[in-house]
Structure 1
Amino acid sequence: MTIATPMQLDAAPLPHVDQAFATPSAPKATEHSLPQLQIVPHSAADSLPQDMADRIAIVFAAGKFSETAAVCAKLLNSFPTSATLWTTLGMCHQKRGTLNEALTCLNRATELAPQTAAPHIGMADVYIKQRRFDVADVHFEIALRLEPKNVVALNNFANFKVNSGRPDQAVPLLERATVEMPDTALLQYNLANALRSLSRHSEARAQYERALDLKPDLHEARGNLGQLLYLDQDYEAAIFQFDQLLLVNPTDDRAQAYRLHAKAMLNDFSWVAEYEQHRRHLGLRGSAVSPFTTLVMEDNPDLLRVRTQAYASTVFPPQPESTISFLRPEARPQRLKIGYFSSDFHNHATMHLLGGLLRAHDQSRFDIHAFSYGPDRQDTQRALVEANVSRFYDLRNLSDHELVERARAQELDIAIDLKGYTGNNRCAIFGQRLAPVQISYLGYPGTLGTPMMDYIITDSVVSPAGSERHFEEHLIRLPHSYQPNDNQRQIAPRQFTRADCGLPEDGFVFCCFNNGYKITPREFDIWMRLLTAVEGSVLWLMSGGAAAEANLRREAESRGVDSGRLHFAERLPHGEHLARQKVADLFLDTFAVNAHTTCSDALWAGLPVLTLPGQQFSARVAASLLSALNLPELIAKNEADYEARALKLAQEPDALLALRTAVARNRRTAPLFDTRRYTLSLEAALDTAFETWRLGQAPAHLTLSAPHGAKEQSQTTAERKTSVAAA
């Protein structure tokens, strides 16, 4: 999720770099009870009469740029030395996109009024549109040198700095502006946006609330406050803000989607019936919605793809004819240069999976680069990444434009996005083409809905034959599972007891450590019937907070189950979380969005996972992992079979013991946790994708077979290649 765009004091907002969430179009400045702010504050020294200047400013502020330009051009016959007219005419050209004409007019204004800031502010806006960002910086600096208290310059320069990845430099500018105009809601709102970009959430919340106190109908501030509350896991307060937005605009699908997702995070099952009222149009009638928020709402890959395509059009807007060209080499380079892009190169679920792959990459054939735009966290997983890549780039303070330029400068052969539409993503940069081959991988379970991604890494379980229509990308099906695993992940040596975990010493322990939003009435009904059927059994869940726990306890009671049979686990460091899972008996998976990394965690810890595969990618991941662990008996055929298998394992200790033994045995021998074998397959996929491009061929669906001799430590290049067939 991201903030809505910052607002300019002259009318139009600058585009924001991240499109994961945006509230309705930003109102014009005049709708925020601002004093009249024209581009050039009219001075007595200007030859244009004051009453004429006032009328022109009103027409300009109304957005009638063609009409304003015509009036200015006519008046220049009588007042050719009016800096007001030249500046306003220049800004009209800027609004209409005739940028060279705008610069001509604004340059003339600077000649006529060399000590006035406004023409320089206008020129900075023009240079931003021309993507000449260094020159824009210079003109903002000149404007503030001339008029240090000019609120328009302070605000717009700050917005430019936020959008170019420099929120730390924007905050003092906006603080100066709020001193000059303390009761201006728009300035408080923009300051809140800058603070939020720096993760100074408590301060940002206070500024959003201040903006809303000044102007309760500043909907952008309310939407961003709702998002911030959501990110801070204050879901009830977030829902209140989204409810207020929907009272004003019931068709605001983005607010609706986040509201429903927040309810799911609280395990408030009322979202299910409410979603049914909106499902036919949600994200399709005007405002696109983040597809991540709708994954759990319905296992319908066709509908999901349509919603995703609508959303992708906001993230990847049509690009002008690209001037970027990539020279096709006559042969494969000795080392293919691979760029992984993520905000999660630290102790994060993605790195728990990916760390082994980075360690196992054949450095003689692949030159691995990690592009990080996430927080600077010096932990064990960050150290693992830095130790196993050729170069690590900390780019968290760069704008999208700067990040693209830095990536292109490395002349990558393949660029891989590890985020998709998950939080803190910057997948929009792939819309500007970072490398000749671009691949979506691991972070987001589904299509990104754009042809800007050439491929997506998947497998034949999550993406079976016939599922190609659910993807905009071409499928690269790996031979076992699409998901990598690190066979050196450490499980803490601590031996947890049930008492340590707050569980009863006796009785069967069903568990599910998925995030709470994945739990829907479909699963919960079955789980409660299992508790009823298995005397003394309990259900062990990951805590989603007091409100979520209370909602689930209430749902249990409504199904005739003592709510005391639900137990909730607090979060622990990763190694300890793996270790404590050994005290559970059976992991019960969720349906529309399975356990993903969580499934691998449980299996690595030796805990069997029972799943029911659905239709969409996110609903088939656990089946993929279990297939790669050679445990098809844990993949149910339907809901009745899922319930029957769980009941059998709970009532037949020998069957459960045999299954746990199989998990322990297979984790050492099956493909799922064979990091080297997996790496060989992925490297073959990268080779094939690059070779397809090098030969001038269009991307096609690919299915890879398993590498031969994967456990051999010494192999020739030819032996490393896997066979590839066009699907």
Structure 2
Amino acid sequence: MDGIHILVNMNGYTKGARNEIFALRPAPIQVMWLGYPGTSGAPFMDYIVTDSVTSPVELAAHYSEKLAYMPDTFFIGDHAQMFPHIKERIVLNTLGSTQANEIPPDNVAVINTTDFRPVLQNTDIKKIKETLMTPSSSSGQGSAAVTVSVTVAELPTTQHIETMISSGMVQTTLSNGLVLQNGLATNQLNAKAATGEEAPSQILVTTRQQYGLPSNAVIYCNFNQLYKIDPSTLGMWVQILKRVPNAVLWLLRFPAVGEKNILASAYQLGCPQGRIIFSNVAAKEEHVRRGQLADVCLDTPLCNGHTTGMDVLWAGTPMVTLAGETLASRVAASQLTCLGCPELVAKTKQEYVDIAVSLGTDKEFLRATRHRVWQARTESPLFNVRIYASNLEKLFHRMWEKQAKGEKPSHILEWPHHFRYVLGGGSSNCSVSSAAGSTTTTTSWHKKALSSK
């Protein structure tokens, strides 16, 4: 009745789901997309939007829907628009604490802002570059040169910042007149900035001191809800901590009641006291920004960090994952592959541990990997919503083309190279609606064929 050609299910079996609408078959094509990490198992859903890494065709039997591949990854995050102040960062360093042209740690104390001009005008800023030799393949065969660069603000002392944090002050003024805001205070000063609705305008300071993290340790992190940590995963994490003596694991009280259970189980596995540190759940902006303080994120293999994985990657922190067979256990592998870091995707539990240990014990490997992730955030398609929207529209159009020809739904696995789709009107218009809560959106387009030259 509404003329909907393609109806999109963004809820699946999560809160607010409206599957009864889809069961009535109001649209000729019905599609699962993004919001639910798995198959619907329902005969009234025709396609699931996914990709070749998340849902390899050899695992198609796990899905009731036909697979419809996006060319890069089916996952997307709007982090570049929500958190533009994390596109760049300046590392804080005390004069004389490092040797000349030595790169200080890039994740002990950093500042982020959308406007670095006050920092550049009032502080001694220098860019330090270093060329590192790292393995050129995941097998470790051969080596490649990687040039790492870090922008550093040299301060006579960081005492003002340390006092601000220890005393819970909202901001501090340095001797050069530069005003810095305590990164813990965003929620108090700007509710919209705290939730990601708008970018903070202040110069934000984020340090390990704020969260009780040791400045000289390797910080492994995981910011997922604690129910995702099964005994096998915790066992791998304890193995990693045992093999990297100066490492700690940073988790969230998510929920708080889980903290004592995780600690008790870890100690039973032989984890030394004090090697697991918990922090409270934070508002979205702080949650993403503080991810910069970790060295490596250890993903939960059974159910990956989906949005959480995007959050930590936008912070520039590498993530190690172990790909399983279900959609929920392969999303991180898709994100890392799209980012250009497939070597961080393990095939076995032992490989997962070994990759994490290598990052924790090989400083050059860690720095080179962190540099690659930091650069790839803005260069790869992973956070590019414009490319994603265009490709999703092309995919919907291909679904409708099959329908218009009288074909039954079938896997859409290949992306042709000989044509592109131009947004606009045209004779082959179709409408796409999303049944997520009460939101309905409609898109139309037409196809323009181009010869390959």
| TM class by smaller structure | 0.5 to 0.7
Aligned twin of 2:312: 602
Whole-Å separation in 2 of the counterparts to 1:549 and 1:676: 40
Aligned twin of 1:489: 82
Give the counterpart of 2:296 among 560, 575, 586.
586
Whole-Å separation in 2 of the counterparts to 1:610 and 1:658: 15
Whole-Å separation in 1 of the counterparts to 2:447 and 2:4: 25
Matches within 5 A, 1:185-204: none
Structure 1: which 5+ runs fail to align?
1-407
Aligned pair 1:649/2:359, yes or no? yes
Confirm or deny: 8 A CA contact 2:419 2:450 kept in the other structure: no
Whole-Å separation in 2 of the counterparts to 1:431 and 1:713: 31
Cα 1:464–1:683 shift into 2, 3 Å: same
Aligned twin of 2:8: 416
Aligned twin of 1:552: 262
- CA deviation profile, 1:356-393 (whole Å, cap 9, x unmatched): xxxxxxxxxxxxxxxxxxxxxxxxxxxxxxxxxxxxxx
Aligned twin of 1:215: none
Instruction: Find the residue that maps to 2:205 and give its secondary structure.
Output: coil
Instruction: Find the residue that maps to 2:206 and give its secondary structure.
Output: coil
Aligned twin of 1:678: 388
Aligned pair 1:516/2:226, yes or no? yes
Give the counterpart of 1:436 among 16, 20, 28.
28
Q: Please tell me the root mean square deviation across aligned C-alpha atoms, in Å.
A: 2.7
Aligned twin of 2:169: none
Cα 1:708–1:528 shift into 2, 3 Å: farther
- CA deviation profile, 1:486-529 (whole Å, cap 9, x unmatched): 23221564231001122122211000111111101111111112
Confirm or deny: 8 A CA contact 1:587 1:608 kept in the other structure: yes
Aligned twin of 2:165: none
Give the residue type in structure 2 aligned to 1:617.
L
Structure 2: which 5+ runs fail to align?
86-111, 113-203, 427-444
Confirm or deny: 8 A CA contact 1:684 1:722 kept in the other structure: no
Aligned twin of 2:342: 632
Instruction: Find the residue that maps to 1:564 and give its secondary structure.
Output: coil
Whole-Å separation in 1 of the counterparts to 2:303 and 2:357: 22
Greater radius of gyration (CA): 1
Aligned pair 1:457/2:167, yes or no? no
Confirm or deny: 8 A CA contact 1:680 1:720 kept in the other structure: no
- CA deviation profile, 1:316-340 (whole Å, cap 9, x unmatched): xxxxxxxxxxxxxxxxxxxxxxxxx
Deviation of 1:720 after TM superposition, in Å, equals: 6.7
Matches within 5 A, 1:161-310: none
Deviation of 1:636 after TM superposition, in Å, equals: 1.1
- CA deviation profile, 1:629-652 (whole Å, cap 9, x unmatched): 111111112111111111111011
Confirm or deny: 8 A CA contact 1:491 1:578 kept in the other structure: no
Confirm or deny: 8 A CA contact 1:587 1:609 kept in the other structure: yes
Whole-Å separation in 2 of the counterparts to 1:503 and 1:722: 56
Aligned twin of 2:323: 613
Q: Which has the higher contact order (CA 8 A, sep 6+)?
A: 2
Whole-Å separation in 1 of the counterparts to 2:267 and 2:449: 57
Instruction: Find the residue that maps to 1:702 and give its secondary structure.
Output: coil
Confirm or deny: 8 A CA contact 1:526 1:643 kept in the other structure: yes
Deviation of 1:708 after TM superposition, in Å, equals: 8.2
Q: Which has the higher helix share?
A: 1
- CA deviation profile, 1:197-227 (whole Å, cap 9, x unmatched): xxxxxxxxxxxxxxxxxxxxxxxxxxxxxxx
Give the counterpart of 2:397 among 687, 690, 693.
687
Confirm or deny: 8 A CA contact 2:225 2:255 kept in the other structure: no
Aligned twin of 1:92: none
Give the residue type in structure 2 aligned to 1:488.
Q
Confirm or deny: 8 A CA contact 1:685 1:704 kept in the other structure: no
Aligned twin of 2:58: 466
Whole-Å separation in 1 of the counterparts to 2:349 and 2:262: 21
- How many corresponding residue pairs? 315
Whole-Å separation in 2 of the counterparts to 1:705 and 1:508: 42
Deviation of 1:456 after TM superposition, in Å, equals: 0.6
Give the residue type in structure 1 aligned to 2:82.
R
- CA deviation profile, 1:417-471 (whole Å, cap 9, x unmatched): 1010122322222101221211111111211111101111011111112212111
Instruction: Find the residue that maps to 2:207 and give its secondary structure.
Output: coil
Aligned pair 1:530/2:240, yes or no? yes
Deviation of 1:721 after TM superposition, in Å, equals: 7.1
Cα 1:636–1:498 shift into 2, 3 Å: same
User: What is the percentage of aligned positions where both structures have the same residue?
Assistant: 37
Cα 1:719–1:424 shift into 2, 3 Å: closer
Matches within 5 A, 1:656-675: 656-675=366-385
Q: Which has the higher strand share?
A: 2
Q: If the length of structure 1 is used for normalisation, what is the TM-score? A: 0.41
Cα 1:721–1:576 shift into 2, 3 Å: farther
Whole-Å separation in 1 of the counterparts to 2:341 and 2:81: 22
Whole-Å separation in 1 of the counterparts to 2:388 and 2:212: 38
Whole-Å separation in 1 of the counterparts to 2:417 and 2:390: 7
Deviation of 1:411 after TM superposition, in Å, equals: 2.4
Give the residue type in structure 2 aligned to 1:461.
V
Matches within 5 A, 1:96-115: none
Whole-Å separation in 1 of the counterparts to 2:56 and 2:47: 16
Confirm or deny: 8 A CA contact 2:251 2:276 kept in the other structure: yes
Give the residue type in structure 1 aligned to 2:48.
I
Aligned twin of 1:569: 279
Q: If the length of structure 2 is used for normalisation, what is the TM-score? A: 0.65
Confirm or deny: 8 A CA contact 1:455 1:475 kept in the other structure: yes
Instruction: Find the residue that maps to 1:552 and give its secondary structure.
Output: helix
Whole-Å separation in 2 of the counterparts to 1:460 and 1:664: 24
Deviation of 1:484 after TM superposition, in Å, equals: 2.1
- CA deviation profile, 1:217-264 (whole Å, cap 9, x unmatched): xxxxxxxxxxxxxxxxxxxxxxxxxxxxxxxxxxxxxxxxxxxxxxxx
Whole-Å separation in 2 of the counterparts to 1:451 and 1:547: 39
Aligned twin of 1:211: none
Instruction: Find the residue that maps to 2:346 and give its secondary structure.
Output: coil
Whole-Å separation in 1 of the counterparts to 2:256 and 2:77: 33
Give the residue type in structure 1 aligned to 2:325.
Q
Cα 1:563–1:719 shift into 2, 3 Å: farther
Whole-Å separation in 2 of the counterparts to 1:609 and 1:708: 35
Deviation of 1:536 after TM superposition, in Å, equals: 2.5
Deviation of 1:722 after TM superposition, in Å, equals: 10
Cα 1:498–1:708 shift into 2, 3 Å: farther
